[in-house]
Amino acid sequence: MSGLGTLPLLAATSAGATTYLADLVLIVGVAAVCATLFQRLGLPIVLGYLLAGFLVGPHMPASLAVHPDLAHSLSDLGIILLMFSLGLEFSLRRLLRTAPTGGLVAIIECSLVAWLGYFSGRLLGWGATESIFAGALCAISSTTIIAKTFADKGIGGRLGEIVFSVLVAEDVIAIVLLAVLTAISGGGTMSAAVLGQTTGRLLGFLTVMLAGGMLVVPRLVRLIARGKQPETLLMSCLGLALAFAFLAQKAGYSVAFGAFLAGALVSESGEAKRVEGLVRPIRHVFVGVFFVAIGMLIDPLAIRDHAAAVLLLSAVVVAGKVLGVSLGAFVAGNGVRLSIQSGMSLAQIGEFSFIIAGLGAAAGVLRGFLFPVAIAVSAVTTLLTPFLIRGSAGFAAYVDRRLPHAVQTFAALYGSWVQALGEARSRAEWTRVRRRAGFLILDVVIIAGLVIASSLARGRVADALTGRVHPTLARALVTLSAITLALPFFWSALLTARRLGRLLAEGAFPTSNSGVDLAEAPRRALRATLELAILFAAGAPLVALTQPFLPTTFPFAIVLVVGVALLGLPFWRSATNLEGHVRAGAQAILEALVAQSRSGLPAASKLDDLRTLLPGIGEPRALPVSNDAPCIGRSLKELNLRGLTGATVLAIERGAGEAVFPSADEVLRENDVLVLTGTHEAVAAACELLCQTVKTPLPASDGDLLG
């Protein structure tokens, strides 16, 4: 009887398994068809997965209606494997290597976009928590989409280095955001005590997980790897990823956070590449299912009802990331062309945005419409990504042509100054720079702490003083006290930013002890630029961090804009003075070339001496133009050297002692000797372009540095 009694249970179990199997066949089949179709059309495959999820989701009129629990369970595995793979690529050594460029760019860009996203949410009438989540989900670009797009288009080189260094820094910022947003979505009233408790709890969790993990995980992975059994290593690492995800979930954090920590710890074993190769095929499958599950949540009615939010946040993502990344990358010394191309490559959101939106939806702190809005914004920006990347070179050339002539001069030489800054400073000088930077960070943290504490304590103080003073007066007293306490630190931050800019500028161009300081113009321009960059890099995170705690939307943003504008005036004056310095340098080079030509000496024999005597003119190099070079007969405007390579033609020696101070319409002739300047990489790229054997159509430019 007992055996017969189990038959209905077995039949029911079999029926349930059959249903889930049918759903799995449907999910994978439709995803494969849509992914193949989008690949054929040259569109991101992620969009194909989203479409597949929509087709099998509950919002289609004739829905195929797969069971959502299965898709969601599989998508959780996709999140874990995706974050574990990102952790495998994370290491302290890599972070330190990419921090000078990627960290600076990511801080500026994420702060700017997060603030714009928060402001957009408030403008749309959303609550403070919803606006915070909106800013956070707009801030992080999609590593998956960019990696796939770059691989398909064969993009690498310096552009790839810049973009992926920013992505590494963004991944770190995203993990911090996940932890902070988990605390925000945990419910309860936010007070200074709760905020301190939440921060301490997060730090304690990280300390225990990282300290304990470093003692066990790398040694364990190395021990298992010695067995030379790939399946054993794979199962062990997947077990670690799931275990850390489970522990993070039990501690009140997301599974993504725990999986990332597991990957970072495994990477310290030295077996990261081997493990990543084993995990990659499985990750592709489950990440695809993750995007399908996201597509199942697309609600056309919600998107229609909130079309304005979709368009506004899409504009915030594209405009904010292009502007933020371009500014940050240029400040890091990458030139106009590469900076704009980097910004246009990163102008989308993806997997992290879904995780952030899902975190808020699961905690019940977001209304139902925000998740479909986030998906729609991701779809719009992902669809735009290939077109933005494809048009980035032309757009960069357009921007370069429209810059004022003094700014063009400055932009052409700034990269070489940053290069000189990195090469000239001693270890002791860098220690001074790091110490001052530490003081600046401390000032910013104290200001943020005072603003947040006063905001959280305002209501409590008003309640405590009830009956003694008016509540409005009590709140005003708290605000006034916070401002009074913050002013010294604000003034200290401004002074530190200026001293840091001066210290860095003098490191690149030391002050001369002689009567004539020939480095004054480039030093002044570099100092003004660095002061602007430091102020913005410190002020943007401060604005983004404190804005949700302020009673109005604008105050700190206005202070930041006014400060940047005030420092922009000396920048403009220094850029104008720099143009005269460069023209004087070009004239000296012309005279030297003529004198050498008349004496029969090689044209490039004294360029090193001129570089020493005229600091700030880059890395001048003489390039003889051969008789069969394809650049002969083409003007500098047509060649567009600065737009394509970042290098500039300072002067031309044209046979028999004739020297030319070139304009944009100057046509190159046989036996010309071009004097190029810029960074090492820019000059090398220009030489390669000028000496190529095949004539290729080049985008037009309005002129060169001296045009």
DSSP string, 566-613: HHHHHHHHHHHHHHHHHHHHHHHHHHHHHHHHHHT--TTTTHHHHHHH
CATH architecture for the domain at 619-690: 2-Layer Sandwich (3.30)
pLDDT at 528 exceeding the cut of 90: no
Q: Which of 119, 149, 163, 53 is nearest to 384 (CA)?
A: 149
Contact 159, 345 (CB under 8 A): yes
Per-residue pLDDT tens over the stretch 361-406 = 777 777 878 888 888 888 888 888 888 888 888 888 788 777 777 7
pLDDT at 41 exceeding the cut of 90: no
Give the mean model confidence (pLDDT) for residues 580-602.
63
pTM as predicted: 0.76
Hey, what are 248's tokens?
């993070």
Name the range with the highest mean pLDDT among 289-293, 307-311, 506-510.
Answer: 307-311
pLDDT at 316 exceeding the cut of 90: yes
* pLDDT for the residue 183: 67
**Domain spanning 26-402: which CATH class is it, in words?**
mainly alpha
* pLDDT for the residue 562: 67
Please measure the distance between the N-terminal and C-terminal CA atoms of the chain and give it in whole angstroms. 98
Q: How confident is the model at residue 706 (pLDDT cuts 50, 70, 90)?
A: very low
Contact 254, 248 (CB under 8 A): yes
Comparing 471 with 110, the larger pLDDT belongs to 110
Starting at the edge strand found earlier in the chain, the sheet holding 621-624 runs 621-624, 672-677, 648-654, 659-660
Locate the domains of the chain by residue range.
Answer: 26-402, 405-580, 619-690
* pLDDT for the residue 559: 63
Comparing 115 with 433, the larger pLDDT belongs to 115
Pick from 214-218, 228-232, 413-417: least confident: 413-417
Q: Is 659 helix (H, G, I), strand (E, B) or coil?
A: strand
Q: Please report, for the chain, how many H helices and E strands are present, in that order.
A: 26, 4
Pick from 26-40, 47-61, 366-380, 448-462: least confident: 448-462
pLDDT at 700 exceeding the cut of 50: no
Give the mean model confidence (pLDDT) for residues 521-532.
79
% residues pLDDT > 90 (the chain): 2
Give the mean model confidence (pLDDT) for residues 444-457.
80
CB atoms within 10 A of CB 369: 17
Contact 694, 629 (CB under 8 A): no
Q: How confident is the model at residue 702 (pLDDT cuts 50, 70, 90)?
A: very low
